[in-house]
Amino acid sequence: MMTQEQIAEKRRLEVVIGLILVGLALMVIRAVDLQWLQGDKLSAVADNQRTRQFEVGAPRGQIVDRDGHVLSESIEVPSIAALGVDLKAKDLPALAKVLDMPLKKLQNRVGDRKGFIWLSRQVSPQVAQQVQALNISGVHLEKEWKRYHPFGPETGHLLGFVGIDNHGLEGLELAFNTRLSGKDGKIQLQRAANGLQLPGSTWIKTPSKGEDLALNLDVGVQSIAYAALANGIAKTGAKGGSVVVMNPHNGEVLAMTSWPGFNPNAFGKYRPRDWRNRVVTDVFEPGSVLKPFTVAAALSTGRWTMDSLIFCENGDFEIGDFIIHDDHPEGWIDLRKLLVVSSNIGAAKLALDVGAKDLNRILEDVGFRKKTGIGLGGESSGILPPLASWGMVETANIAFGQGVAVTPIQLASAFSIFANGGVYYPPQLIKEGEGLSSRKGHRVISEQVAHEVLSMLTDVTKIGGTGTKAVPEGYSVAGKTGTAQKPNAKGGYSNDKFTAVFAGAVPAEAPEIVIVVAIDEPETSIYGGTVAAPIFKQIAATTLPMLGVAPTVLAKSKSDKWQMMQTNMAKEDFTKVHSLYGFSLREVRHFALANEVQLQLHGSGWVSRSVPATMQGLQPGDVLEVWLNE
């Protein structure tokens, strides 16, 4: 028989054993729950703790010129990111110092966030290496794509720029953002228990590059146009300006540039108003540059010829309550001289005879009053009053370029009809075959009328005309000057603000390019023949040889000229060398040495252009910049 003490001990043992059995049962139940009932869920949690998935951006497609030169590309740059859950407050001061960021700013950026955080984006490789050296838990490098434009301000307005999130914000980058954008990928990284990234990664989805975009632009011509425009603006003190260079036979845009420029690689340093592409956004009254279209309308009626005479009222012509003036009073003149002396009265009288309907038809057919559809955002349609509002005064004013406003790209496309036999081609910026709909040309005037107007425009640039300063040595030019008062806020015209314009085709006898130069509010002179024509000349003189168009107007044969150059150089009498065009690299160096000038060279082969363009007046110590091409 058990004693009372033994019974108590037995019960205590039974309780302990019972507790042990209950504990074991609970452990078994928990194990079953964890292993079978919650196994998948807990496995996912574990994976999530040791792995992280990140979106990886894709490079955008390149933008290239007609010869494949890269105008815009994506380059890989490092960025600093972190996982907030692993980031320790004690590590932030050292990290802020390396990132050159105020500690308070970094602390605010991190805050209480536990997930993915961008700490500093698109940093230099040096900063990335310094961050890695800190070996901070939760901090890692991400690779991003940064847009780079090799030609900087020269192509800034045209290409636009891309934001930090790899989306186009201006120019072609915005207009073709969908096409240029790639498809982002996703990558999985592993990390240790302390939050540091482990070597190796797994692609869940590989990023794919965006499509490339090929332009008709010739970056060499673009550089020439930009330099000439910048030089002209500096000389004339103008507020701004634009240049367009086109192939008149198919509408291909070889160059378009504006001033003031901006560098798309650092667009944040410029004002938003400086980002706009003036070639397509800004309108101006063309002034006398519109007169060739009035003359073309008259010739198209069959009632007028180049030799037809028109009385210009000796400088004053009254229509209704308005009086039209000519700067140079004329009596009876023919249509050829009308363009040479740029008579407002002659143009007005022609328009009144032709009639508003026929003049309006030609202006509409060459693209005025509507967007060109070039493919750039912000394009203006210009201003051409509806035909119903054309009275006698309005018709007369439009005839010499008042009351109508155009963009530089509209004017270049329109003026091309005189250089290509009367056919209008809309401007073609994107290269054919790039998946865009074809843009065909249409006839506006007959081939004969186009030829006759071109012939008259050639006289404008000869002695006695207003465009003599547009003619480069060795070439002939068919062009027209324009000087237009700018409208003021009161509905009238400013007395001191003008737009100076020159539009021309060169060589005149067989045009290869059309160039339009528009200068906004020049200070040294207001006239297109004085302000815009020299810029045209500089562009044409440099572009034509580069395009393989040899001089056609020579005082001596090419061999004679070359012989003269060789003779001069043999004697080291360089004062007689007018231009270095055609010189070899050796001869250029010889010239620079003999004249003690500082030489800056670009390229190889034979000289295609130089700054200054002519050697007369070059002094010892001056800088001579020379471009050579094979």
Q: For residues 277 and 158, is the Cβ–Cβ distance under 8 A? A: yes
CA separation for the pair 562, 568 (Å, rounded): 10
Measure the CA angle with vertex 212, ends 206 and 214; round to 5°. 175
Tokens 């198919």, located at residue: 250
Concerning whether 416 is annotated as a catalytic residue, the answer is no
CA separation for the pair 260, 238 (Å, rounded): 10
Closest CA to 611 of 109, 41, 224, 156: 224
Among 181, 258, 288, 476, the active-site one is 288
Q: Could you tell me the two tokens for 48?
A: 């999530």
Q: Could you tell me the two tokens for 418?
A: 């005189």
Q: Which residues contact 560 (CB under 8 A, 6 or more apart)?
A: none
State the burial class of residue 441 (Cβ atoms within 10 Å of its Cβ: 0-12, 13-18, 19+): middle
Classified as helix, coil or strand, 459 is helix
Classified as helix, coil or strand, 113 is coil
Q: Which residues contact 570 (CB under 8 A, 6 or more apart)?
A: none
Q: For residues 470 and 500, is the Cβ–Cβ distance under 8 A? A: no
C-alpha distances out from residue 135 to 111, 139, 609, Å: 21, 8, 55
Closest CA to 215 of 368, 376, 58, 59: 376
Q: What's the helix, strand, coil split of the chain in %, to 5?
A: 40, 25, 35
- Count CB neighbours of 466 within 10 A: 26
Q: For residues 175 and 391, is the Cβ–Cβ distance under 8 A? A: no
Q: For residue 524, which phi and psi values (nearest 5 degrees)?
A: -75, -30
Closest CA to 607 of 587, 593, 623, 590: 587
Q: Could you tell me the two tokens for 156?
A: 């800034």
Which residues are annotated as catalytic? Answer: 288
